[in-house]
Amino acid sequence: MPHNFDVRNFTDEKREELAWFIHEQPSWRLPKLTYWNYDLCRVHARGWDEEIRTESGEIITQKVYDRPKPLCRKCAIHFRKHQEISIAWLYFAKHALLADTMGSGKTTSAGGLVAMLLETGELSLYRDRSDKFGGMGRVVICPRSPALHQWRDELLRMMPSLNILLAEGERKERRQRYLQDWQVLLIGPQMLREDFEHVERFDLAALITDDVDELRNDETQTSYYLDKLGARGTYGFRPGTDRYVIMTGTPLQKKLPELHSVLDGIGGKKKLGDKEFFLKKHVRTGTTEVFDEKEGRWKRKTVITGYKNLDIVKRQIAPLYMRRTADDLDDVHLPTILPNDVFLDLYPAQRAKYEELKRGVLKILREEGAQVKRPTALARIHYGAAICAGLAALGEPDGPATSVKMDWIMNQLTEDELAEEKVVIFANLKNSVRALQNRFRANEIGFVTVWGEEKSKQARHEAQERFWQDPKCRVLIGTKAIEQSLNLQVSRHLINLDTILNPARMEQLAGRIRRDGSAYQHVYVHNLLTIKTQEEGYLPLLEREAALAGHIWDENSQLFNALPPMALLRLISG
């Protein structure tokens, strides 16, 4: 039965007061939710065996009946302590940014909010005689498009009776389906832009976004439409949106303009002021010389050099966001990451090309020095990375002694410690992906690929499911398409064929296998690096940048994006 209160009868001040009270609690007990699935699957309801290590070091087996078996995707999801707090906070808050660390279960918190809305009657199960849903009626969830099917499966695992509509297919078909009965609409950013005039017609109990990068720039169309949808009701507009929840596991770094843009739609402007005022108050700037390719001349450009008064920012935004790191989650098992930095020597054919590149870079440094253009430096860095990945990455034939990294991978998968393991491989270049695919086919190694060449979200989802379910499918190859939103904790090994000069993105990749619910105590990240190349300089740079604590959430920085051209070229030249 629904609870005997309706939060919509509370004043905004009362809701803010209750939300902040819950925000500051070390624990919170949710009621048992009628529509939530608490049951273990048929197999594990009879008990499953868990191995534990005693204080003396002895390993014993015990029977478990009261919690899901790790990695079982049919068992129910039981709320963690931090999730019960966040669900209650999200229920009372009208605007919220849930920014818990990657892999901690933010999707479950969002599902718990939906279950709370069902419990209180704010999310209706039926139409009344006037052909309208009772209460506010609907929830719109906007994740990144590749994650739509994963979101659907997870929500149905949490609430099997939930009526979910996916916004996909032809435009005419989509618009007809919007008129049908649905409780939750899952829609990607592009579809939201195309179909906004239809989506905005509905009263919403909640609008939820998940890792939508476009929110970092308030000038994008996606940001405009999401914030417009989330603001309805706030300023007297109808139909209304009672809650606007933004979820992100991607660190916002030290870029205050991005932080202001993300918070803008959930009341950040009210607390921080407009962007021009905010940046003037909290950002230090300077000028530098940049070359304008179109005008063919050097121009002065204003750049961010530092920040000020950040304690004020923290106090102002505190009611709007909830952020828990791995150290805060005492009841969550996030595996320990064990990095394995593998240093390999280039084959002679690779070395010859790299030495030729190095001579060219030294010539550029002698002739242009500090005046070298950034596109010139980036082009050399990318070319050097392709040489290190293998000659196939350059478009040349793949074969013996053409890629020391791919040979290492094949040896591990066929003869060494990974011969019986499921493995995720990250490759930044499509030619490398094609070379790996050919090698795996030739050696009868089962694999799937998640990359931009496959446009179908359904096909990507099926690839992910096969990697989970098929014991013969041992490898998932992924490009940047796997950086966010995918749950791949069935594996405990990630091999980075390539390295991205951005510590936050490298953490995102590790976060695909380091997730709550993993059966493993440790996960392994194998970074393949080549000796006497630019890659020897990657780790010191990544460590240096990762050590720079952010001012708002104590996150790693993204200052690699701002490395000057000479610093990039010196990675090659030594």
Q: How many independent structural domains does the chain possess?
A: 3
pLDDT (tens digit per residue) in 426-436: 999 999 999 99
Last-in-domain residue among 328, 348, 370:
328
The residue whose two tokens read 């010196």 is: 570
Has residue 292 been placed in a domain? no
**Whether residue 152 sits in one domain with residue 46:** no
Helix pair 310-317, 275-282: axis angle to 10 deg: 140
Please report the pLDDT score of residue 5 as a whole number. 62
Residue 508 has pLDDT above 90, yes or no: no
Please report the pLDDT score of residue 126 as a whole number. 54
Has residue 297 been placed in a domain? no
How far apart (Å, rounded) are the C-alpha atoms in residues 369 and 537?
A: 20
**Whether residue 220 sits in one domain with residue 356:** no
**Whether residue 64 sits in one domain with residue 150:** no
Which one of 108-122, 361-375, 550-564 scores highest in mean pLDDT?
108-122
Please report the pLDDT score of residue 486 as a whole number. 81
Residue 250 confidence class, pLDDT cut points 50, 70, 90: low
Has residue 473 been placed in a domain? yes
Residue 514 has pLDDT above 60, yes or no: yes
Please report the pLDDT score of residue 553 as a whole number. 43
CATH number of the domain where residue 538 is located: 3.40.50.300
How far apart (Å, rounded) are the C-alpha atoms in residues 442 and 351?
A: 26
pLDDT (tens digit per residue) in 180-213: 889 999 999 999 999 999 999 888 999 999 988 8
* The amino acid at 147: A
CATH number of the domain where residue 105 is located: 3.40.50.10810
**Whether residue 234 sits in one domain with residue 198:** yes
pLDDT (tens digit per residue) in 328-340: 887 777 888 888 8
**Whether residue 552 sits in one domain with residue 427:** yes
Has residue 179 been placed in a domain? yes
Has residue 558 been placed in a domain? yes
**Whether residue 448 sits in one domain with residue 347:** yes
Residue 378 confidence class, pLDDT cut points 50, 70, 90: confident
Buried-state track 37-55, b at ≥16 Cβ within 10 A, e below 16: beebbeebeeebeeeeeee
pLDDT (tens digit per residue) in 387-423: 999 999 999 999 999 999 999 999 999 987 898 899 9
Tell me the percentage of the chain whose pLDDT exceeds 90.
45
Please report the pLDDT score of residue 293 as a whole number. 64
Q: Which of 183-187, 322-326, 354-358, 449-453 has the lowest mean pLDDT?
A: 322-326
CB 184 within 8 A of CB 138: yes
**Whether residue 385 sits in one domain with residue 428:** yes
Residue 562 confidence class, pLDDT cut points 50, 70, 90: very low
Residue 550 has pLDDT above 70, yes or no: no
How far apart (Å, rounded) are the C-alpha atoms in residues 339 and 494?
A: 10
Has residue 349 been placed in a domain? yes
Query: Across all residues in the chain, what is the average pLDDT?
Result: 85
Mean pLDDT (whole number) for 225-235: 78
Residues 377, 381, 386, 389, Cα dihedral to 10°:
180
**Whether residue 382 sits in one domain with residue 255:** no
From residue 494, give the alpha-carbon distance in Å to each of 145, 254, 409, 424: 23, 27, 11, 5
CB 232 within 8 A of CB 210: no
Residue 87 has pLDDT above 90, yes or no: yes
Has residue 278 been placed in a domain? no
Mean pLDDT (whole number) for 269-297: 81
**Whether residue 260 sits in one domain with residue 403:** no
**Whether residue 43 sits in one domain with residue 95:** no
Sign of CA dihedral 547, 549, 554, 559: negative
372 or 158: which carries more pLDDT confidence? 158
CB 34 within 8 A of CB 1: yes
**Whether residue 30 sits in one domain with residue 12:** yes
Residue 558 has pLDDT above 80, yes or no: no
**Whether residue 212 sits in one domain with residue 361:** no
Please report the pLDDT score of residue 145 as a whole number. 86
Last-in-domain residue among 55, 75, 95:
75
- Provide the residue range defining the domain that includes 123: 7-36+76-267+318-328
Residue 254 has pLDDT above 70, yes or no: no
Distance of CA 566 to the CA centre of its chain: 31
Q: What is the CA radius of gyration of the chain?
A: 25
The 8 Å CB, 24+ separation contacts for 390-399 are: 390/350, 390/432, 390/435, 391/349, 391/350, 391/353, 392/431, 392/432, 392/434, 392/435, 393/429, 393/431, 393/432, 393/435, 394/353, 394/431, 395/431, 398/435, 398/438, 398/439
Residue 297 has pLDDT above 70, yes or no: yes
Any residues with CB less than 8 A from the CB of 363 and at least 6 apart, and which?
A: none
Has residue 313 been placed in a domain? no
From residue 195, give the alpha-carbon distance in Å to each of 90, 189, 243, 345: 27, 10, 20, 53
Structure tokens at 198: 């239809």
Last-in-domain residue among 298, 328, 358:
328
Mean pLDDT (whole number) for 463-470: 93
